[in-house]
Amino acid sequence: MSAAVHPPSVPALVVGSISHARHAPRRHSFDYAHYQWLVDLDDLPRLPRLLRPLGRFEARDHLDGGRAGGGIRGDLTRWLARRGVELEPDDRVLMLAHARAFGHVFDPLTVFWCLRPDCSVRAVVLEVHNTYGERHAYLLEGAEHGRTELTKEFYVSPFNDVSGRYAVAIRLTPELVQVVVALHREGQPWLTAVARGRPVPATTRNLLSIVRKHLFMTHRVSLLIRWEGLRLWRSRLPVQPRPPHSPEAVR
């Protein structure tokens, strides 16, 4: 029997921070204020007309880009089915992601929680994006208990190849939404990324308050990732070749 989770009410704004700590071959870390959305794929936020530029969710920004129809949920349903998991019509799918804001989105990490009607976990899917316009989805086996491990398969940073294993810890509660991804190689910690925040209702008032503090959030995410990459390149950290990536990873 899968463990049940107790998610916050949605739509919610998950307000907190994102941090990266590189442990090897050179130490480097950063921590930035940050927010994401937590939404139900069957009941996406309907913002007032003047606020729509602050938060849009489009199929083109996730998985197979809506190529075969059915929006993000349609893509996720087909992706899971190809991996032996049947998403039922009455299952609920919660998505933790950045929204498209002011015409731009960059979403380094998206999480999908697929929940049965009793809130037990059918599946958890982690979608990773890189700055080369590629994305890759992982099925988190055993993640209904909050922790799992998987083999790295996707080139994310130009300073890391695709070797190693991830230890993933996730938490979805009314008080805290958190995703921790730690890369290990040969039993040694290599990189740890943490996104955490407190969910608050996505009311117009809360959205305007948060946007005032985090204006152009998705633009800043793109810029900061490139800035940190430039700092690593200037420190002469070797760049690793990028292998070809198949779109079948998100189909």
Question: Over the stretch 40-58, which tens digit does the pLDDT of each residue have?
Answer: 999 999 898 888 888 999 9
Pairwise CA distance, residues 32 & 188, whole Å: 25
pLDDT at 114: 97
* 214 within domain boundaries: yes
* 158 within domain boundaries: yes
> What total number of domains does the chain contain?
1
* 2 within domain boundaries: no
Residues 6+ apart with CB under 8 A from 186: none
* 245 within domain boundaries: no
Mean pLDDT, residues 108-136 taken together: 95
CA 200 to chain centre: 18
| CB distance 206 to 215 below 8 Å | no
Overall pTM surpassing 0.85 (yes/no): yes
Domain with 208, as residue range(s), is 12-235
* 251 within domain boundaries: no
The side-by-side arrangement of strands in the sheet containing 92-97 is 135-139, 121-129, 109-115, 92-97, 28-40, 12-22, 188-201, 177-185, 165-172, 147-151
Asked if residue 189 has pLDDT above 80, the reply is: yes
Mean pLDDT, residues 183-203 taken together: 94
Which candidate, 229, 203, 247, places its Cα nearest to that of 55?
Answer: 203
Q: Give the pLDDT confidence of 16-36 residue by residue, as tens digits.
A: 999 989 888 888 888 888 999
* 241 within domain boundaries: no
* 246 within domain boundaries: no
* 180 within domain boundaries: yes
Asked if residue 124 has pLDDT above 70, the reply is: yes
Pairwise CA distance, residues 172 & 39, whole Å: 12
Pairwise CA distance, residues 37 & 59, whole Å: 15
Mean pLDDT, residues 85-92 taken together: 97
